[in-house]
Amino acid sequence: MYQIIRKRCLNPTVTQMDIAAPLVARKAKAGQFIILRVDEEGERIPLTVAGYSREEGTVRIIFQTVGATTALLAAKEEGEYIADFVGPLGVPTETEGLSRVCVVGGGVGCAIALPVAEELHRLGASVSAIIGFRSKDLLILEEEFRAASDSLTVVTDDGSYGEKGNVTQPLQVLLEKGEKFDRIIAIGPLVMMKFVVATAKPYGIPVTVSMNPIMIDGTGMCGGCRLTLWQDGKRVTKFACVDGPDFDGYQVDFEDAMSRGAMYRSFERHAYEATCNLLKKGEE
């Protein structure tokens, strides 16, 4: 069992938790993920490591309440326990040898982008961060990004905070000004990452994207997290849990990834509504 040491609500649907998991904290690096179960009857869900303290032995997770399991997890309070917390899994984000990087985060993907920006900052790289949200009330981690970046641009779709627009617009401005990034690291919704890649392509700047498809076992055996890449003109299958979650954005077949990501939405919605009804009954 793994205890919830701290809990913080970042916005109405996004929750941050620090979990006591010293063995995971000892090895965790930016870009890796864990798989947890809320209880012994629960499903396994992957969540990216959003931070860690080796001294305290805690691992930070940030998640959005979108399905049954995240609803159950969000209902947990400080001092309570979750059943399983396995990791770190996946390949850490490559941060060594980079001197100038643009980190682009969208929505709850900013929780994944932040530890990458922090690690780059710690290594002495110049970090330009761009973070985007639908509206001001969904904004998360602004001050943390400001502390880890040499420059920060915040955008919202509706213009309720920061600049109005999406993350590709300030990125386009930076590239047109002649900014020479060693790499762009984009983490967020698939459609956002797709357009970040399209924006960077004319400038020939390498783009790393973080792919978080459906996962079950996290070891590459189930095949649920398979991705299609284009390498040397051929379709190649990779597994996000063991080959990723980071991939070359120019190689990812985003259309295929978006199609696969939509397969279970109706089932997830039904399970989420059923869980919410159970939680409400428990409160009565």
Q: What is the pLDDT of residues 136-154, one digit of tens each?
A: 999 999 999 999 999 999 9
pLDDT at 278 over 80: no
Question: What was the pLDDT predicted at 119?
Answer: 94
pLDDT at 275 over 50: no
* Calpha distance 271→26 (Å, rounded): 35
Residues of the chain with CATH 2.40.30.10: 2-89
Q: What is the pLDDT of residues 12-29, one digit of tens each?
A: 899 999 999 999 999 999
pLDDT at 98 over 80: yes
Residues of the chain with CATH 3.40.50.80: 100-261
Residues 2-89, CATH architecture: Beta Barrel (2.40)
Sequence-distant (≥ 6) Cβ neighbours of residue 267 within 8 angstroms: none
pLDDT at 204 over 50: yes
* Calpha distance 205→209 (Å, rounded): 13
Phi/psi region, residue 124 (left: phi>0; alpha: psi -120 to 50; beta: rest), is left
The whole-model pTM stands at 0.85
Residues 100-261, CATH architecture: 3-Layer(aba) Sandwich (3.40)
Q: Are the C-beta atoms of 192 and 166 separated by less than 8 Å?
A: yes
